[in-house]
Amino acid sequence: MADGGRLASFVQGLIQPETGPRIDFRQPAGEPALAAPDSVSWRVFKNPVSLFVGGVAAVILELAEPRVRTGVWQYSSFRTDPLPRLKRTGLAAMVTVYGARSAAETMIAGVRRMHDRVAGYTPTGAAYRANDVELLDWVQATASFGFLEAYRAYAAPLTDDERDRFYAEAAPAAALYGAVGAPGSVVGWEAQLVAMLPKLERHEIVFEFLDLMRQTAILPAPLQGLQGALIRAAVAITPAEVRAVVGLGPEWDLGPVEGRLVRWAGAAADRLPIKGMPAVEACLRMGLPADYLYRRK
């Protein structure tokens, strides 16, 4: 298992924000998470490369929806201080998947209270509330789609049954967030995309977000050259019909050499347990070996 050197410090730094409470994924000993250790979710969320790619793809889809876009851009620090915002989002995902159930339920209740204060109007006058079920369902769906498709494209293959299981496993957490209509299968995701597509639109904020992702120093210096490829990898898994709507043309395509590099990085990350990471710590909490999720099946 990789120890707490520079790599461990970097990856942990992407998950645990400098401010706010530190989450101990080893405690309480033996308390289960919202998803089980043998779930597809535990396997997928352990990979930092595909999580970054999938997270960017999910945000592209979210920002294409005008009510979600307005709420995110008006009420969050994405445009002014993107890295801490990304870390908070990453930590929330880790707690939801790997945290003890009591910790996850407490965190999610806090997120819902915060979202209760987020409401307003889009520039065209459409009303929105962050806790609107339709918007919660879309955000949940885009996150599931992004993380799942990034993993299978750049880390490891998944069967059709495993893809369906991944969506279904998200249901308990989605219900706590209020996303009671989030898709429970690949077919459910495809139906939701068809239903939402007429409501999506092109907006410069999508390109502003992608520019922020390119300009913000997220990766350590030796790996910063990979950052642009990871962003294009995210665009590559964005559904073609959404790319057409938002205007992400061929200039955003992932080149063949870049694709091989991203797949190599994703596959390597899938075999490398890092001391202190939520996936490793959660396994130890449940009395499992630290490398339980990293063993070749």
Residue 248, domain member (yes or no): yes
Residue 223, domain member (yes or no): yes
pLDDT digits (tens, 9 = 90+) for 195-205: 999 999 999 99
Q: For residue 240, which of 197, 188, 195 has the smallest C-alpha distance?
A: 197
Helix ranges, the chain (H): 6-15, 40-44, 48-63, 66-75, 82-98, 101-116, 133-154, 160-169, 171-177, 186-196, 204-215, 227-237, 240-246, 256-269, 278-285
DSSP 274: B
- Count CB atoms within 10 A of the CB of residue 95: 24
What is the token pair recorded at 274? 């890092």
Question: What predicted TM-score, i.e. pTM, was given to this entire model?
Answer: 0.92
CA distances to 8, 10, 167, 221, 270 from 4, rounded to whole Å, are 5, 9, 33, 18, 17
In a 3-state reduction of DSSP, which class is residue 80? coil
**What is the pLDDT, as a whole number, of residue 80?**
74
User: Using N-to-C axis directions, what is the helix angle for 227-237 and 256-269, rounded to 10°?
Assistant: 100
Distance CA 88, CA 94 (A): 10
pLDDT at residue 75 is higher than 90: no
Residue 1, domain member (yes or no): no
Q: What is the number of alpha carbons within 13 Å of residue 122 lying toward its C-beta? A: 15
How would you class 233 by CB atoms within 10 Å of its CB: exposed for 0-12, middle for 13-18, buried for 19 or more? Answer: buried
**What is the pLDDT, as a whole number, of residue 74?**
82
Give the model's confidence band at 140: pLDDT under 50 very low, under 70 low, under 90 confident, else very high. very high
Distance CA 7, CA 45 (A): 18
Give the model's confidence band at 120: pLDDT under 50 very low, under 70 low, under 90 confident, else very high. very high
Over the chain, what is the mean pLDDT?
90
Question: How many domains is the chain built from?
Answer: 1
pLDDT digits (tens, 9 = 90+) for 250-289: 999 999 999 999 999 999 999 989 888 999 999 999 999 9
User: Using N-to-C axis directions, what is the helix angle for 133-154 and 160-169, rounded to 10°?
Assistant: 140
Peptide bond into 82 cis (omega under 30): no
- Count CB atoms within 10 A of the CB of residue 36: 12
Give the range of the structural domain holding residue 60, as residue numbers without chain letter.
6-294
Residue 15, domain member (yes or no): yes
Give the model's confidence band at 138: pLDDT under 50 very low, under 70 low, under 90 confident, else very high. very high
Residue 194, domain member (yes or no): yes
| Residues linked to residue 120 through DSSP beta bridges, in sequence order | 128
Q: For residue 15, which of 294, 218, 277, 221 has the smallest C-alpha distance?
A: 277
pLDDT at residue 20 is higher than 80: no
pLDDT at residue 82 is higher than 90: no
Residue 261, domain member (yes or no): yes
For residues 8 and 2, is the Cβ–Cβ distance under 8 A? Answer: yes
For residues 19 and 83, is the Cβ–Cβ distance under 8 A? Answer: no
pLDDT at residue 15 is higher than 80: no
How would you class 117 by CB atoms within 10 Å of its CB: exposed for 0-12, middle for 13-18, buried for 19 or more? Answer: exposed
What is the separation of C-alpha 67 from the centre of its chain, rounded to a whole number of angstroms?
Answer: 20
